[in-house]
Every structure is written in structure tokens, then in C-alpha cells.
Amino acid sequence: MVQKIALEEHFLSPGLVDYWRPTMTEVAAPAVEQLFQRLTDFGEQRLAVMDKAGISRAVLAIAGPGVQAERDAAKATRLAAQSNDFLAAEMQKRPDRYAGFAHVAVQDARAAADELERCMRELKFCGAMINGHSNGLYLDDKSLAPFWERAEALNAAIYLHPTDPVVPAPVLDGLPALRRATWEWGFETGSHALRLVFAGVFDRHPKARLILGHMGETLPYLLWRFDSRAKLYGVKLSAPPSHYIKRNILVTVSGVFAAEPLYCAVSALGRERVMFAADYPFENAEEAGRFMDTVPLDAELRSQIATANAAKLLGLA
């Protein structure tokens, strides 16, 4: 069993439970309560699952949507800070096992930048996770320039996590099994990331780093197509879209435990840009661990994906 650093392991802080529960309306009540127990546990239950999966350290992040769903910017900023303080206290109990992604309210870009800096400098977090759009505000919006400037200066990795679209996609009407995690979230999150690329965010902030889960939300599969269509439509960037995807975006295996998409991601982006993630408790962490242990890879690459890439990217010993 190879030892692993797991990105995208979720938790809930007391002040954000009421934002999470409405997202669980389609889940049976007993399953919701089981998820809640796992999301609010930082002790033996979570650690036992980590041990069985070979996870030596987990990078914890708020289960969405968190403050991305709050319309009052001041309240969102306050709740994000409280959540970060809560996580820092839990990390201090087991610094050998837990690291953290900051929760930030980009509804106020400068406040989000300040909170990101506080979390990284004072609380020793290793980046931030943002749960998709914030009431329709996407991360390429020009008002968020102060946030990206600070994230770049801090060398902070920003993990973009899925959320529901502003308006449900009509093409999925009548087929609820295609909504949310099956297809809708991937389309939403991949499109969000492409907004950053095509809007020139990575031209203006060349050292910014974005992480996508689920093997990159299909982006590694379509690099040629993005370059071809950008040229056709006269997109004004300093380089083709694939350049920024390869330079500024990294991906994790969360929720896609299959060899073929892993090989595609490694081939498209490079060996140093793919990392392990368990997506606990929404995915089976033991299954994720077995996949990482058994998928046919050379030993060096397995070690890179399981541990070394995340350790280097996030500054984890």
C-alpha cells in the first residue's frame, strides 16, 4: 500500500451546516445523517477510514456550498473566518494527519484576499477551496482581480469545487439521474475553469494555480478542440488555451477511479500535475485508495500522484 496525501476531504463547521443541508434534499434522511456524522467527525472514525485507504494526511475543506450561497457579503466573510478558525483548531489536535484549505467569501474580493493571507500565514493552511460560483459571480469577474493578485503573491493553490448551476440546464429536463454529480456539475465546473482561461485571468496572473477534481472535469480530453475553436473565434490570448490549462491548472482523481481517464490526464497535463484525492465522505475512500494502489503505473509515477505532487504543490512535508 502506497502512502497518500488526500486532497478534497470534506468537513462541516457549525456555522455552515444550514447551507449544506438544503443540498441534500434528494438524499434519504438516514444517509444524510450518516454523511453529517462523518463530516463533523475529526477523530477515530475519520482516521480509521484514512488508515484503511493508506491516507497519511488529508487536506480538509468545507462541504459545499458554504458561504458561496450567502448573499450578504459581510455575513459571508464573517462565517468564512469562523469556519477557518474552527478548522485550524481541529488541525492543531492532529497536525500530523490534517492540513486545510481556507474557506473564502469572494463576494468581497479584498476581504477574501485578506482572509486567504491570514489563513496561509497565521493558520498555516495550504490554499483555498471555492465551491463554484457565488450567487452567479464567477471567478473570472473583473471585480475579483484583488483576490487573484493576492493568491498569486501567496503562491496559493485555489481548488475549484462543483456546485449547482445558476439555472438548471434544460437539456437535462426529465432525466434527473443526469443532474448534479452525474453530469451537470462537471459541465458547470469545467465551464467555470474555461472562463478563467478564455477571459485571460491566467494571462494577467501567470503564476496563479487552479486545481480541478474529477480528472479535470473533462478538460484534458479536449485541449486540441479548445485551441482550434479559440483560433476560429479570434480569442485574444497570449498563447493557446491549452498552454494555460497545462501551466496553471492541476487535477485530482477525486470521484473518477478508472485507469483510462487517469492516463489521459497524465498524458495531456504531465506527470507532475495529477494528484490523489478521496472526496470523503461522498466517495468511498477505501475504493479510492485501492485504485491508487493497484492501477497499472510505474512506481515513480504512482508515488508522484499519491504523495509527491501534492507535497510539493502545497508545501506539505
* In the block, residue with C-alpha cell 495529477: 274
- Nearest in space to 212 (alpha carbons), one of 166, 292, 158: 158
Q: Does residue 279 have an active-site annotation?
A: yes
Residue in 108, 140, 164, 279 annotated catalytic = 279
Q: What are phi and psi of 134, to 5 degrees?
A: -110, 95
Which residue's entry shows cell 438548471?
Answer: 168
Residues with Cβ within 8 Å of residue 20, at least 6 apart in sequence: 12, 39, 63, 64, 65, 66
Residues classed as catalytic: 279
